[in-house]
Structure 1
Amino acid sequence: MTAVALASGKQGSNPVSDSRRGWVWLLPPLAVVAVFFGYPLVLVAGQSLTTDSGFGLGVWAEVLGSAEFRDAAGQTVLLALGATTGCVLLGTFLALVIAFVPFPGARTLSRLVDTVLAFPSFLIALAFTFLYGSAGVFGAGGFLYSPWGVLLAEITFYTPFVMRPALAAFGQVPGVHLDVAASLGAKPGRVLWRVVLPAALPSLASGACLTLLLALNEFGIVLFLGAKGVTTLPMLVYGKGIVTFDFPAASVVALVDVAISLLLYGSYRVLSGRGRDAVVDAA
């Protein structure tokens, strides 16, 4: 027994060896990330610097200075901001109804929201085609194939991405806070504005950032609807790379889109971390 204890003590008293073993376990996932993400990204970056005369920033200057890129970037930002605003308003309202208004089927509706998160985006576009297409039930073809049709489809698809964190945040609001506010004479609207929404604000902000990130990179809805005059950055990458085979220009647009996505993802991580801290403090 003494020998076993000494052996175990020797094994547990070498933090340098434990640290080295930890780095060994970190190498496989780093290798996977480098091969499947880092290497293709390097190839795209190299392609964006390829010009007729060798390497340079000529393609970057040409693409970023073109009216086509500015229009695509503007439409992408406007559609993403509009979809995010609509999702936040609609998702917050629906989450408040499910969380605080007692009615039969609230739990079933909450689970249905989780199911919608698994749907592919083109399924929403297909459903909208059957409803609002030229030969659809309502026959509003002109509306569907406009930026407003794309915006409505994105709001419909991405609203659950705001509802889910909002429902979780509303469920963590201590009931005693609501009771105290009501006992002090606060009306329901004031309780909602001063107690419920501030507690859920970090979660709502993280859901908004996630929705904005996804809407900026939405491709299936725009491609499937074929909206006239709607060209977003992902569609521009598709057009440059697949239709015209202009791979350097497509690489430039793709890298700009990646940079914006990484910036938004960093914001989402910060806000989601604050949301978890707020939930812990409230608990």
Structure 2
Amino acid sequence: MTAVVEPEAGRPAENDGRAMTVAKTAVVAGPLIVPAVGLGYPLAWVVARSFTDRDDAFAGGATWGSTLADPAVHKAVWRTLEVAALSTLGCLVIGTFLAFVLAFVPFPGSAGVVRMIEAVVALPSFLIPLALGVLFGSVGVVSASTGHQFTFLATVTGVVLAEIAFYTPFVVRPLLAAFSQFPSAHIDVASLLGAGPTRIAATVILPRVWPALAAASSLTFLLTLNEFGIVLFTGAKDVTTVPMMIYTKSMVASDFATAAVLATMQLTLSVIVYLGYRAVVRRFDTRTGA
């Protein structure tokens, strides 16, 4: 008599569990393949290219050494930091003032102003220098009417003003969100105690919204640090930032090795600033949740 072997009762459940694990892995790994191939590979290629020479031959750290020793690179790095810092400072001053007025000094049409500020973010960045060029360019309206006395668009001042005009909404929007959560009772109490508007803003409001202000400034600095289109379209030939130098080295001089070194430096600096931005945002979220 032949014995009949019954299947183990737990095996179907075990197979279903493995199938579910495979399915979950596929769902998670699938979307990761696209950025890994589309972003990770080019970045890895850029880093690897930085260790070659102009003829694409392995050069070790020679290209890094020559690039880091180049005074023009030093000037470009400092110019990049200067433009980003001045632009961020200008955005903070103007953006904080605008957000404060829109949040605490309501006036007819304030909602329309907010919508207009938000719309600027949707515009391509190069439209700002083109618009400013109509006014302050070498053949602009102001320049022509003043005997070419105000042709500052193709200077550091012009680049900074263009970046302030474009990136100020990145400060206004988060501050408006922070101001909307501010208890109005605190302002009423401070006013009853005799505090003026300036003191209320400095001692009551700003200390409560500084995390939002820090997050906005970090994001703005990160964006202005990597800005290329505005610098290019202002025609500021003497304002050589690292992104502009990367473009010149790669597209004009065909020196892809040096461009890769500069790109790797810019990437490293951007990651550092981004990590600082994320740290501020996490602290802000923690304090808000508490």
Q: Is the 8 A contact 1:200 1:275 kept in 2?
A: no
The Cα shift of 1:22 comes to: 3.8
- Partners in 1 of 2:24 and 2:183 — Cα distance? 40
71-80 vs 194-203, which deviates more?
194-203
Shift of 1:19: 6.3
Cα deviations by residue, 1:153-174 (Å, 9 ceiling, x for unpaired): 1111111111111111111101
Q: Distance in 2 between matches of 1:118 and 1:79?
A: 22
Structure-to-structure mapping, 1:23-62, within 5 angstroms: 23-51=25-53, 54-62=58-66
In structure 2, list runs of 5 or more residues that go unmatched: 1-12, 144-148
Determine whether 1:197 maps to 2:206: yes
Q: Which amino acid in 2 is paired with 1:42?
A: A
Corresponding residue for residue 93 of structure 1: 97
Corresponding residue for residue 250 of structure 2: 241
For residue 69 of structure 2, the aligned residue among 65, 84, 87 is 65
Matched, 1:170 2:179: yes
In the TM superposition, residue 55 of structure 1 has moved relative to its aligned partner by 3.6
AA matched with 1:114:
E
Q: Secondary structure at the match of 1:142?
A: coil
Q: Structure 1 residue 201: deviation in Å?
A: 0.5
Show structure 1 runs of 5+ residues with no match: 1-9
Residue identity in the other structure for 2:193: L
- Distance across 2 between alignment mates of 1:141 and 1:244: 33
Matched, 1:148 2:147: no
Q: Tell me by how many angstroms 1:148 deviates.
A: 0.8
Q: Distance in 1 between matches of 2:19 and 2:92?
A: 50
2:263 aligned with 1:259: no
CA deviations over 1:73-113 (Å, ceiling 9, x no partner): 01000000000001001100011011001210111111111
Report if the CA contact (8 A) 1:126-1:224 is conserved: yes
Residue by residue over 1:114-142, the C-alpha shift from the partner in whole angstroms, topping out at 9 and shown as x without a partner, is 11111111100100110101221101553
**Which of the residues 116, 129, 138 maps onto 2:133?**
129
Is it true that 1:232 corresponds to 2:241 in the alignment?
A: yes
The offset of 1:181, in angstroms, is: 2.4
**Aligned equivalents of 1:270 and 1:183: distance in 2?**
37
Provide the rounded CA distance (Å) in 2 between the counterparts of 1:33 and 1:54: 27
Aligned residue number for residue 138 of structure 1: 142
Pairwise CA distance, 1:226: 1.4
Distance 1:180 1:21, change over 3 A: farther
Q: Secondary structure at the match of 2:141?
A: coil
Contact 1:233–1:253, Cα closer than 8 Å, also in 2 = yes
Q: 1:178, CA displacement in angstroms?
A: 1.8
| 1:44 maps to amino acid | V
Larger Rg: 2
2:117 paired with 1:76: no
Q: Write the distance in 2 (CA, Å) between the matches of 1:21 and 1:193.
A: 55
Distance 1:162 1:19, change over 3 A: farther
Contact 1:172 1:279 in 2 (8 A): no
Corresponding residue for residue 184 of structure 1: 193
The number of residues matched between the two structures is 270
For residues 19 and 179 of structure 1, the distance between their equivalents in structure 2, rounded to whole angstroms, comes to: 57
- Any idea what SS the aligned residue of 2:168 has? helix
What CA deviation, in whole Å up to 9, does each residue of 1:42-70 have, x standing for no partner? 11111111136634010001001101100
With structure 1 as the length reference, what TM-score do the two structures score?
A: 0.89
What displacement does 1:20 show? 5.9
TM score, norm. by length of structure 2 = 0.87
One of 280, 283, 288 as aligned partner of 1:271: 280
CA distance in 1, matches of 2:102, 2:205: 14
Q: CA deviation at 1:29?
A: 2.0
